[in-house]
């Protein structure tokens, strides 16, 4: 029967409702071309009907209320902040002059912070940061009310260009061997163009923890405490619990693989950020629902936290220098070379109407709540992340997003993130929804066009990739995964390990899911009504859909139509060449260190000539180093962890009119086939370095004009 899998493991009445809701689709078959909205009438979801009717939303089969995600809980539009305005040009920045504007930008930010907030305003044009290869650091915003605003994210708008990488080429220091004051992995060393961070380490506990004295239902707003002293209406608080007793719900009775050591050792944990709406006796009444059932004996605690608020980045393009052939976790440059924006301890922040060009990471949220990342485009070289909402984040929204190139992890959650919504996101076919382990739960993937949902990152000790209540609502599948897709496959490297994900209205290409690995698969092959669960829940809660939803969707169509700033290889010589004077031997030492410090078996010991003539010249340093790295990658065997690669002797010949780099081919045909992308990068970028790449069966030769 066509809809027999509509609701697995639920009661008979609910199954019949689901059957009736999908009845129209019975005869269409899984291989159908799905009927889109406006092309035919879709049927109302039984899960939606059940959610609307529920007076108690604590049972596991009832949908989570995701409508609290985003700026001001989705109730208000992101504001167009009027001022005060601080123009970067008044503090020394000059567009398009090929000189660093970094210090001028810092001075402008400081002026806005000292005034209690305001708009840091960029006119149209290109502004440079990280122009000194020996010094690159974040531009930090540490006060509330500061908005970074440009003159548009398309061609002719504002472009922030980071020339050098914040990491340069050294070994990847995070998290290996780098600990914070609490002995935990210190991620603060990762550099970003702009980092919004109120205090060192992000959110700061503003008072003493108070024990939760009674059970708390999933979907409830009431937290019983011994004493509400120290709390007041409007406070932001963090609700924490860490106990194996949480596993009963968050693991849905499933057992972890022996290699998933963190959850086996410590059990599940939560860290939800909430706002106090009011105080009634010895109860804190929250603005948002608690997202998991908490037993009286779970030893949950709640603490006030200090966050910065009403901050954002809007209407600009951020461009990095990442043009290498990406290899996941090979090096600091691959993973974090050029990272755009981080929120750390932020509430009611936003990133909107931005373009991210040739960056390794676009936007990363940590310890943040009620933020919206909307109307953004990601283009250029494959990188690490597009948007990651991770590490103790709650009720955040990312959507109206277009991936025009692939990232290793596109829309990503992880590390106890909860209440996250991915909304109307357009992925390319090779992209995947990512959940990165360490206990994310209650995530909505709503009205997303794939791509796929079968691949997720994270190390085995952090698995499963996602705990309970991961909902795929009207997901359009467009991939070629091995079927049936099994979301509880213990084999590392196979499908993502999700705890009983729920699929409603999964359509697009035919795809079969392993029935006992999902909570339900309601109406496969056809979209359902409501089209967007996030919008429907928002409308149900508020009585009407807020005006901002329709406004921002119309605006997004205009943003997508904008021509992007030049970013492809063909544009480099005219629009994106950043030449600087340097000594050849300095570049060679830098490249030598880069190759030596690559990880996962990709390290290559480079043997340089004992002496290199003191050649001074003017080139694009980053591009030339990228060419040399790509050449060495292609010329050497495929990286294998703990298997050393033989040393490679590189000949450097300086002639009156040219400099020649020659590398022996140490790779076999199989390795060369796999690393074709590296050879492509070297050949494409060589002309912008005033050179030509010559390859044959025995060597690679780069000939550069002097």
pLDDT of the residue at 185: 60
Contacts with 118 (C-beta within 8 Å, 6 or more apart), sequence order: 81, 83, 84, 85, 86, 111, 112, 145, 146, 147
Residue 191: its pLDDT value, please?
A: 84
Q: Which of 322-331, 367-376, 517-526, 557-566 has the lowest mean pLDDT?
A: 322-331
**Segment 617-673, tens digit of pLDDT:** 899 999 999 999 999 999 998 877 777 888 999 999 999 999 999 999 999 999 999
Give yes or no for residue 252 having a pLDDT over 90.
yes
Residue 135 maps to a domain: yes
Task: Please determine, for residue 158, whether its predicted confidence score (pLDDT) is greater than 90.
Answer: yes
Above pLDDT 90, what percent of the chain?
Answer: 81
Give residue 10's pLDDT.
42
Question: Is 659 a domain residue?
Answer: yes
Residues 254 and 328 in one domain: no
Q: Note whether 140 and 214 are same-domain residues.
A: no
pLDDT in the model for residue 204: 59
Q: What is the mean pLDDT of the chain?
A: 90
Asked if the model's pLDDT at residue 247 lies above 90, the reply is yes
Whole-number pLDDT of residue 177? 54
CB 70 within 8 A of CB 396: yes
The pLDDT value recorded for residue 199 is 66
User: What's the Rg (C-alpha) of the chain?
Assistant: 26
How far is residue 498 CA from its own chain's centroid? Answer: 18
Domain count, the chain: 3
Task: Find the range with the poorest average confidence among 199-208, 260-269, 626-635, 678-687.
Answer: 199-208
What is the average per-residue pLDDT within 195-206? 68
Query: Nearest CA to 217 among 153, 138, 164, 296?
Result: 296
Place of tokens 């909902």: 471
Question: How high is the pLDDT of residue 600?
Answer: 84
Whether 250 and 282 share a structural domain? yes
Whether residue 692 sits in one domain with residue 663: yes
Q: Residue 169 pLDDT more than 60?
A: no
Instruction: Please name which of 620, 536, 501, 617 lies closest in space to residue 252, comparing C-alpha atoms.
Output: 501
Residues 54/540, Cβ–Cβ less than 8 Å: no
> 223 and 136, same structural domain?
no
Q: Are 344 and 196 in contact (CB under 8 A)?
A: yes
Q: What is the pLDDT of residue 178?
A: 59
Q: Is pLDDT of 469 > 90? A: yes
Query: Is the CB of residue 477 less than 8 Å from the CB of residue 452?
Result: yes
Domain extent, residue 661, equals 579-705
668 and 571: one domain?
no
The domain spanning residue 286 has which CATH number?
2.40.30
Per-residue burial over 554-576, b if 16 or more Cβ lie within 10 Å, else e, is ebbeebeebebbebbbeebeeeb
Compute the average pLDDT of residues 587-596: 91
pLDDT of residue 29: 31
Q: Are residues 595 and 684 in the same domain?
A: yes
Is the pLDDT score of 42 beyond 80? yes
Tokens standing for 448? 């997303």
The residue among 256, 283, 306 that closes a domain is: 306
d(CA 174, CA 187): 6
Residue 52 resides in a domain: no
The number of helix segments (H) and strand segments (E) in the chain equals 13, 42
Same domain, residue pair 93 and 194: yes
Q: Is residue 8 part of a domain?
A: no
Question: What token pair was written down for 12?
Answer: 């008979």
**97-111, 168-182, 299-313, 373-387: which range is least confident on average?**
168-182
| Predicted confidence (pLDDT) per residue in 141-155, tens digit | 999 999 999 999 999
**CATH number of the CATH domain containing 159:** 2.160.20
Whether 194 and 210 share a structural domain: no
* pLDDT for residue 506: 98
Over residues 199-208, mean pLDDT: 60
Is residue 325 a contact partner of residue 627, using CB atoms and an 8 Å limit?
A: no
In a domain? residue 661? yes
Over range 439-462, report the average pLDDT: 95
Choose the final residue of a domain: 576, 595, 623: 576
The CA-to-CA distance between both ends of the chain, in Å, stands at: 73
- Residue 400 forms part of a structural domain: yes
- Confirm if 19 and 3 have CB atoms less than 8 A apart: yes
Residue 26 pLDDT grade (very low, low, confident, very high; cuts 50, 70, 90):
very low
Three-class SS of 192-206? CCEEEECECCECEEC
The residue among 272, 288, 306 that closes a domain is 306
pLDDT band at 332 (very low <50, low <70, confident <90, very high): confident
- pLDDT-derived band of residue 403, with 50, 70 and 90 as boundaries? very high
Q: Which structure tokens are listed for 671? A: 């390795």
Residue 502: both structure tokens together: 């729920």
Q: Are 471 and 448 in contact, with CB atoms under 8 Å apart? A: no
Confidence of residue 372 (pLDDT cuts 50, 70, 90): very high
Same domain, 324 and 193: yes
In a domain, 407, yes or no: yes
Residue 18 clears pLDDT 90, i.e. is over it: no
Looking at the predicted structure, is the pLDDT value of residue 174 above 90? no
CA 1 to CA 23: how far, in whole Å? Answer: 10
% of the chain exceeding 70 in pLDDT:
90
Confidence of residue 203 (pLDDT cuts 50, 70, 90): low
Quick check: is 108 in a domain?
yes
Q: What is the pLDDT of residue 22?
A: 53
Are residues 590 and 560 part of one domain?
no
95 and 210 co-located in one domain: no
């Amino acid at each position: 029967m066509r809809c027999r899998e509509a609701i697995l493991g639920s009661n008979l009445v609910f199954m019949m409702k689901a059957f009736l809701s999908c009845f129209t689709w019975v005869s269409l078959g899984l291989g159908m071309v799905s009927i889109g909205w406006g092309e035919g009438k879709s049927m109302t979801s039984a899960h939606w009907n059940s959610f609307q009717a529920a007076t108690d939303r604590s049972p596991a089969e009832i949908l989570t209320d995701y409508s609290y995600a985003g700026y001001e809980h989705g109730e208000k539009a992101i504001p167009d902040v009027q001022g005060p305005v601080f123009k970067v040009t008044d503090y020394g920045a000059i567009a398009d002059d090929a000189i660093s504007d970094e210090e001028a930008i810092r001075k402008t930010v400081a002026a806005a912070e000292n005034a209690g907030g305001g708009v840091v305003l960029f006119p149209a044009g290109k502004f440079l940061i990280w122009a000194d290869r020996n010094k690159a650091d974040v531009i930090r915003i540490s006060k509330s009310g500061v908005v970074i605003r440009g003159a548009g994210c398309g061609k002719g708008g504002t472009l922030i260009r980071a020339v050098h990488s914040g990491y340069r080429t050294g070994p990847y220091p995070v998290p290996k061997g780098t600990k914070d004051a609490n002995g935990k992995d210190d991620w603060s060393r990762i550099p970003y163009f702009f980092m919004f961070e109120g205090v060192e380490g992000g959110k700061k506990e503003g008072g003493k923890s108070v024990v939760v004295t009674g059970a708390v239902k999933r979907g409830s707003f009431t937290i019983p405490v011994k004493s509400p002293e120290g709390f007041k209406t409007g406070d932001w608080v963090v609700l924490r619990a860490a106990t194996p007793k949480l596993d009963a719900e968050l693991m849905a009775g499933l057992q972890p693989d022996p290699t998933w050591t963190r959850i086996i050792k410590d059990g599940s944990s939560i860290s939800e950020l909430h706002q106090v709406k009011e105080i009634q006796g010895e109860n804190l009444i929250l603005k948002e629902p608690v997202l998991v059932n908490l037993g009286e004996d779970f030893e949950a605690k709640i603490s006030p936290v200090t966050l910065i608020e009403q901050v954002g980045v809007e209407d600009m393009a951020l461009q990095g220098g990442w043009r290498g052939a990406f290899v996941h976790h090979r090096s600091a440059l691959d993973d974090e070379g050029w990272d755009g924006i981080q929120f750390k301890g932020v509430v009611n922040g936003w990133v909107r109407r931005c373009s991210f060009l040739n960056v390794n990471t676009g936007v990363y949220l940590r310890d943040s709540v009620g933020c919206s990342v909307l109307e953004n485009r990601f283009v250029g070289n494959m990188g690490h992340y597009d948007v990651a909402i991770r590490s103790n984040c709650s009720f955040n929204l990312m959507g109206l997003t277009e991936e025009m190139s692939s990232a290793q992890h596109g829309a990503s959650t992880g590390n106890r993130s909860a209440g996250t919504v991915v909304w109307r996101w357009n992925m390319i076919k090779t992209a995947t929804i990512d959940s990165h382990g360490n206990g994310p739960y209650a995530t909505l993937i709503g009205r997303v066009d794939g791509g796929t949902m079968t691949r997720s990152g994270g190390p085995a000790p952090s698995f499963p990739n996602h705990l309970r209540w991961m909902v795929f609502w009207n997901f359009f599948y467009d991939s070629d995964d091995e079927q049936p897709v099994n979301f509880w496959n213990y084999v590392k490297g196979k499908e993502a390990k999700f705890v009983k994900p729920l699929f409603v209205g999964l359509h697009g290409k035919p795809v079969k899911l392993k029935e006992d690995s999902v909570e339900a698969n309601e109406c496969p092959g056809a979209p359902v009504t409501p089209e967007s669960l996030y919008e429907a829940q928002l409308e149900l809660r508020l009585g009407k859909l807020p005006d901002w939803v329709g406004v921002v969707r119309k605006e997004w169509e205009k943003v997508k139509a904008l021509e992007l700033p030049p970013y492809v290889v063909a544009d480099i010589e005219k629009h994106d060449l950043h030449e600087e004077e340097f000594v050849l031997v300095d570049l060679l030492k830098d490249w030598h260190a880069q190759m030596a410090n690559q990880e996962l078996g990709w390290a290559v010991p480079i043997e340089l000539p004992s002496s290199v003539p003191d050649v001074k010249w003017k080139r694009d340093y980053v591009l030339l180093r990228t060419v040399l790295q790509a050449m060495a990658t292609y010329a050497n065997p495929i990286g294998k962890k703990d298997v050393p690669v033989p040393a490679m002797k590189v000949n450097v010949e300086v002639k009156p009119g040219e400099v020649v780099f020659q590398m022996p081919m140490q790779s076999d045909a199989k390795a060369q086939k796999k690393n074709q992308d590296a050879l492509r990068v070297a050949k494409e970028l060589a002309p912008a370095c005033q050179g030509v790449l010559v390859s044959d069966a025995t060597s690679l030769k780069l000939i550069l004009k002097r």
